[in-house]
Amino acid sequence: MTPDAAAVTPSPPVPDAVGRALRLDDLADAARRALPRDVWDFVSGGSGTESALAGNRAAFDRLRAVPRVLAGQPEGPGAWDLVGVRARLPLAIAPMAYQRMLHPRGELATAGAAAAAGVPFTISTLSSQRIEDITALGGTPWFQLYWLRDRGLVHDLVQRAEDSGCRALMVTVDVPRMGRRLRDIRNDFALPVGVSAVNLSPEVARGPQDRRAGASAVADHTSSAFDPTLSWDDLARLRERTRLPLILKGVLHPDDADRAADLGVAALVVSNHGGRQFDGAVASVDALPAVRDAVAGRCALLLDSGVRHGTDVLKALALGASGVLIGRPALWGLAAGGQEGVRTALSLLDEELREAMALSGCADPSAVRRLRLVNGPCHTPDAPPRARWEPISSPVRPEGGASTEEPR
């Protein structure tokens, strides 16, 4: 066990900013102040013009729920099914690389907070802490796999994930090459000394610390290490090889979702990679209804990209997701206050979701599935107002059928 892994407790003192946080934006502000500019840009930036990054938030902001009244109140902590796991919240922490850039304990702090909150934590292929040290914390670990050119290393990572107790294998399928992240290029971004992808072989892990002018060392490194030829046949063989439930992350097109469901995957993550890959991609929440209809219940659906509020979680559930993955908000908490900061991020989402369920008339998860959403005016400064509200289909119709009446 590494020295960092042994120092799981006590957690570092909580900065005042974490204790005073009332929403995730407060943690973001604290993280921005705590981090070097290039690390903040690596975490926060998107690809290209960052239109997909902005579009994820705009899509959530357009969606509005039509509340029910006199419907009862949620009763205590819920129990949510996430890919065969009973979680206390309908969310998991997404795979995110190199977390020791943000805090000395990195993934150990994030995973510890997830375990305490009763939600899954996804270990990235590019984790800066060892798989075995993270899974030793308990909780519900998942493992995320990038398809590497070194097939022996791929098989080794899958075996280690199985042997150490990971509960699912998540394969990221939307990175045939790294998106062009201009902030990182302008910053000549490279990993801090001492931070690396420790679960890879030394020669593969070393690359991101080699700084090159006018380039992102991380992008250079992934271009050389990742295999862009990943195919459906590769996934079928992986499905046969592993005993873990298989999750595909990065699916937006309904035809791809249909093919993945036929392959026998346990779940899909409807995701545009947080706006960090294809800058022209549809927002994840806008893609969700068509993906839901395509899989028709044959596999579970998760959603990521743009989740910042409990109301966002509610909207994703109403459109057919079993839960969401959160990425940047967990990193904001980590940078602002270590494990306690991540715990605060999860607690804020928990409280906001409970409030959203109560105020929308959803006493339990089944009521959330029947919640009606409409696509209405987006009140962001740069968005032109819409003239009318547009209904959105729900995965479960209310008793008596769906109303065609426009909301007043």
DSSP collapsed to 3 states, 207-230: HHHCCCCCCCHHHHHHHHHECCCC
CATH topology of domain 24-380: TIM Barrel (3.20.20)
pLDDT score recorded for residue 406: 36
Lowest mean pLDDT among 7-16, 268-277, 339-348: 7-16
Spatial contact of 301 and 267, defined as CB atoms under 8 Å apart = yes
Flag whether 304 is marked binding.
yes
Cα gap 193→188, rounded to integer Å:
15
pLDDT score recorded for residue 380: 47
Q: Is the pLDDT of residue 9 over 60?
A: no
pLDDT score recorded for residue 7: 39
Flag whether 202 is marked binding.
no
Cα gap 99→21, rounded to integer Å:
21
Flag whether 68 is marked binding.
no
Q: Is the pLDDT of residue 250 over 90?
A: yes
Q: Is the pLDDT of residue 175 over 90?
A: yes
Flag whether 13 is marked binding.
no
Flag whether 216 is marked binding.
no
Q: Is the pLDDT of residue 386 over 50?
A: no
pLDDT band at 403 (very low <50, low <70, confident <90, very high): very low
Cα gap 389→371, rounded to integer Å:
16
What the block records as the tokens of 41 is 């840009």
Flag whether 308 is marked binding.
yes
3-state secondary structure of 241: helix
Cα gap 306→312, rounded to integer Å:
8
pLDDT score recorded for residue 222: 78
In the block, which residue shows the tokens 């000549």?
188
182-192 mean pLDDT: 92
**196 vs 401, residue with greater confidence:** 196
What the block records as the tokens of 400 is 């008596």
- Give percent of the chain above pLDDT 70: 85
176-189 mean pLDDT: 92
Cα gap 65→360, rounded to integer Å:
7
Cα gap 209→195, rounded to integer Å:
8
Flag whether 358 is marked binding.
no
Q: For residue 57, which of 277, 382, 380 has the smallest C-alpha distance?
A: 380
Flag whether 181 is marked binding.
yes
230-247 mean pLDDT: 97
pLDDT band at 306 (very low <50, low <70, confident <90, very high): very high
273 is a catalytic site residue: yes
pLDDT band at 63 (very low <50, low <70, confident <90, very high): very high
Q: For residue 346, which of 61, 139, 75, 39 has the smallest C-alpha distance?
A: 139
Q: Is the pLDDT of residue 375 over 50?
A: yes
Q: Is the pLDDT of residue 401 over 70?
A: no
Kindly state the DSSP code that residue 130 receives in the 8-state scheme.
-
Lowest mean pLDDT among 19-23, 118-122, 320-324: 19-23
Strand pairing report for 169-172 and 140-145:
parallel
Flag whether 29 is marked binding.
no
Cα gap 178→265, rounded to integer Å:
25
Which residues, 6+ apart, have CB-to-CB distance to 271 below 8 Å?
Answer: 174, 249, 250, 251, 252, 284, 303, 304, 305, 325
Flag whether 146 is marked binding.
yes
Q: What is the pTM of this model?
A: 0.88
Per-residue pLDDT reduced to its tens digit, 286-303: 999 999 999 999 999 999
DSSP H helical segments within 70-143, as ranges?
A: 107-117, 131-135
Per-residue pLDDT reduced to its tens digit, 99-150: 999 999 999 999 999 999 999 999 999 999 999 999 999 999 999 999 999 9
Got the DSSP string for 21-61?
Answer: --SHHHHHHHHHHHS-HHHHHHHH--STTSHHHHHHHHHHH
**184 vs 384, residue with greater confidence:** 184
Average pLDDT, the chain: 88
Flag whether 241 is marked binding.
no
Cα gap 191→399, rounded to integer Å:
55
Active-site position among 103, 221, 253, 273 = 273
66-91 mean pLDDT: 86
| Cα–Cα distances in angstroms (integers) from residue 336 to residues 32, 98, 99, 226, 342, in the given order | 8, 16, 13, 31, 9
181-210 mean pLDDT: 83
Cα gap 181→59, rounded to integer Å:
22
**381 vs 217, residue with greater confidence:** 217
pLDDT score recorded for residue 211: 60
45-71 mean pLDDT: 95
pLDDT score recorded for residue 381: 45
Q: Which helix (H) or strand (E) holds 250?
A: strand 246-251
